Chain A
Amino acid sequence: MEYFLQLLLGGLTRGSIYALIALGYTMVYGIIELINFAHGEIYMIGAFTALIMSSVLTLYGFNEVSIIVLSSLIALIYSSAYGFTVEKIAYKPLRGAPRLSPLISAIGMSIFLQNYVLLAQTSDFLPFPTLIPEFNFMKNYEHVFGSTELVIVVTTVLVMILLTILIKFTKIGRAMRATAQDKKMAMLVGINVNKIISVTFIIGSVMAAIGGILIASHIGQINFYIGFIAGIKAFTAAVLGGIGSIPGAVLGGFVLGWTESFATGYVSSDYEDVFAFALLVLILIFRPEGILGKSSSQKV
C-alpha cells in the first residue's frame, strides 16, 4: 500500500511538472492556434536566470527567503521579456501566413535559443541550488513525499485555479476568449488583439519560468537542453488533456505522470514511454479533442 502511495504521489509530482509547462502551450494554442515550440526554451531560460540570480544574491549575502523571492521574481520578468520578444520577432510578422510558416519559425526559434544559451553559458550540466527549504512538518514523510514535491503540486493547482479565474471572470480574460473565438470580430468590437496576444505570451512565459525554477530545484541540475525534453512531454500532456483547455492541460499532465509512474513501478521503466504514448494514441482515437477538449469555439 505504501508502495502504491509512493508511486501515486511520485506520478502526481511528475504530472505537475508536465502540467506547469503544458499550461503555456495550451494557452498560446488557444489564442492563435500555434504550437509554440520555443516554450520549452523559455522554461530553460527561466531556470538559468534563477540560477545566475541566486548565485549573485548568495554572493552578496542575502538571506534564504529573499534569495528565493528575488531570484524567482527576476527570472519571471526575464522570461516574460523573452516570451514577449519571441512573439514579436518570430510570430507576429507571420500572422497572416499559412499555418505551417509560424510552426517552422517556432522550431527555428527553439533551436536558436538553445544554441544561444549553449554559447552564452555552457554545454555542461550545472548544479542548481535547492531553493525550497525542507519544511519541519514534512520531516516524517520525506521518504514518501518531499517538501519540494509538495511545493510543486500545490503551485500547479494554485496556478491552474488563478488562470481559470483570470480567464473566466476578468476583463482581460473576456478579451482573450473573444480573440480566441474570432480575431477579426474581436478587433471590430474594440479589442486590441496584438496586445492580448502579447499578454498571453507573457502569462505563458511566467508559468514556464515558475516550472523551470521548481523543476530545476527538484532535480538539482540544468543544462541548455532540458527545455526540449520537458517540452515534448508537456506538449503530449496538453494534447492528452485537450489542447486549448486550461484544466485539460493539468489533467493531461497528471494522467501522463501517473501512467509513467505506474508503468515504471509495476511493469518496467524500459516501457515508460511506450505506455505513455500508447495511452495518448488510445485517447486520441476515442476522443480526438482530448480528455477535456471541447468544440473549437470554447478554447482558451
Chain B
Amino acid sequence: MKCMMNTSLLTCILMVVMTVTLSCTKPESQPLKVGVAGPHSGDLASYGLPSVKAAELVINETNDKGGILGRRIELLIEDDVCKPELATNTATKLVSQSVHIVLGHICSGATKAALGIYKDSNVPVISPSATNPDLTQSGDYPNFFRTIASDDAQAKLEVDFALDVLKLKKIAVLHDKGDYGKGLAEFVKGFIENSGRAELVLYEGITPGAVDYSAVVQKINLSGADAVIFGGYHPEASKIVMLMRKKKMDTIFISDDGVKDITFIKIAGEYAEGVYATGPKDVSMNPLAVKANEAHKKTYGSDPGAFFLNAYAAAQALLNAIEKSGSTDYAKVTHALRTEYVETPLGKIRFDDKGDAIGVGFSMFQVKHGRYVEIN
C-alpha cells in the first residue's frame, strides 16, 4: 500500500483502517500494539516528541519490510504531560487497549507512577530517558528497562575504575555543594562504603568560586588519600588540581562530565595531564546513529531533539526482543531483552538483570597530551 505524497492524509488513514479491519479476519495477522507514552504537550513536550518520531521512524521502516512475525505494528501514542497523576491514566488507557509493549515514559516521576499498572498487566516498558536510579535498582519493577544511563552511573563508573583498575585503597571525596556535584559525591560515598574494599578518608564540600583552596588541598595531603574523586564542575576542579600539583602532590584526580570539558584542559594546562573524568560515550561516529539522524532530517525536515537516539535504540530493542522470542509473551520477551544483543545507534546493547542497558552511557577518559582520550 503506497500513499503518494499528494494524496490527502485522510485517504491514507482510511486505507490503513480498511486494511487493518480487513486483515482482522485472520487472527495471526492482528497488529502488534506498541504504546508510546510521554509528554507530547506542555512545558516538557520537547523531551517527549523526539521519542514519538523515533518510534515512528523505526516502526514505519519495519512495516515497510512487512512487519514483524508476519504482523504489522501499530503505534498507540499517549500524552502524560510528565505528570505522575496523568501517567497512571495514560498507562490504564494503554493497557485497556491491550498494548503489547511500551516505549516510555519520559520523566522519572511519571514513569514510576505508571510502572505498577504495566507490571500488573505484564507489559514490558522501555524508557529512553528516565534516569532515577531506583527505577531499576530497587528491583520492584522487573518489567522495566531503559536505554539511558541512570543518575548514579557516573559515580559507579568512577568507583569501579578507582577500585578495580587503579586498585586504590584510600579515597577522598569532594563536591561543590551543588545539586549535581553533591548528588554524585553521595553516590560515590555510598558505593565506596558498600564495597568495603577502600577507605573513605575524607568527605567534604567546598565553596564554589572561592579565591583559594589551599586549606582543603593540605587536608587531602594530610589524609594520605591515593586519589580524590570530585563531584562538580571544571572551574573548581582546575583550581584544586593546579594547587595540588604546585604543592608537589601526585594524588590521582577523578571526576565527572562536568570536568570532561575542553576548558578544563585549557585552564589547567600541563597540570591537567593524567586527570581522569567520566563522560558520555561518543556515538556521533556510529553509522546507525548517523543513519537515524539523517532519516529524521529527511522525514521531518529538522535535526532530532532530546533522547532521540535513546528512543530509537529502545524501539529497535523492543522489536528485536519480540522477533527473537517469536511471541509477545511477557516472560519470553523480557528474557530476550536480557539476553539478545541488538545493534542500535548507541552501540550493541542488551539489558542486565535489573533492566539497565549494558554498553550504554559513560566511559572513562584521561587527559593525555592536552586531550581527553577514552580508556577501554
Whether, in the assembled complex, B127 has its beta carbon less than 8 Å from a beta carbon of chain A, the answer is no
B192-207 interface with A by 8 A CB criterion: 204-207
Q: Flag if B209 contacts A127 (CB, 8 Å).
A: no
B235 CB contact (under 8 Å) in A125, A264, A265, A273: A125
CB distance from A198 to the nearest CB of B (A): 29
Dominant secondary structure of chain B at its interface with chain A: helix
Task: Count A/B pairs, Cβ under 8 Å.
Answer: 91
- Once the chains are docked, how many angstroms separate the CA of A261 from the CA of B234? 22
Of B1-9, B45-53, B242-250, the stretch lying at the interface with chain A is B242-250
Whether, in the assembled complex, B354 has its beta carbon less than 8 Å from a beta carbon of chain A, the answer is no
Q: How many residues of A contact B (CB 8 A)?
A: 39
Which residue of chain A is the closest to B217 with respect to CB atoms? A10
Q: Flag if B209 contacts A269 (CB, 8 Å).
A: no
Whether, in the assembled complex, B179 has its beta carbon less than 8 Å from a beta carbon of chain A, the answer is no
B84-143 interface with A by 8 A CB criterion: none
A220 with B211: in contact, given A3-B222, A125-B235, A269-B206 (CB under 8 Å)? no
A265 with B212: in contact, given A127-B267, A220-B239, A270-B204 (CB under 8 Å)? no
Q: Flag if B218 contacts A7 (CB, 8 Å).
A: yes
CB distance from A276 to the nearest CB of B (A): 10
Whether, in the assembled complex, A229 has its beta carbon less than 8 Å from a beta carbon of chain B, the answer is yes
- Report A-chain residues with C-beta under 8 Å of the C-beta of B222: 3
B215 CB contact (under 8 Å) in A219, A261, A270: A261
A226-245 vs B, CB cutoff 8 Å, 1 = contact: the mask equals: 10011001000000000000
A3 with B218: in contact, given A143-B248, A221-B238 (CB under 8 Å)? yes
B212 CB contact (under 8 Å) in A13, A125, A225, A268: A13
A10 with B242: in contact, given A221-B235, A225-B209 (CB under 8 Å)? no
Q: Flag if B267 contacts A125 (CB, 8 Å).
A: yes
- Once the chains are docked, how many angstroms separate the CA of A13 from the CA of B248? 18
A17 with B212: in contact, given A220-B242, A268-B204, A269-B205 (CB under 8 Å)? yes
- Once the chains are docked, how many angstroms separate the CA of A272 from the CA of B215? 10
B214 CB contact (under 8 Å) in A13, A142, A220, A262: A13
Q: Flag if A142 contacts B247 (CB, 8 Å).
A: yes
Q: A6-B214, A264-B219 are in contact. List 13 more A-B contacts (CB 8 A).
A: A124-B263, A127-B267, A127-B268, A142-B248, A219-B212, A220-B238, A223-B235, A225-B209, A229-B210, A230-B211, A233-B211, A264-B216, A268-B204
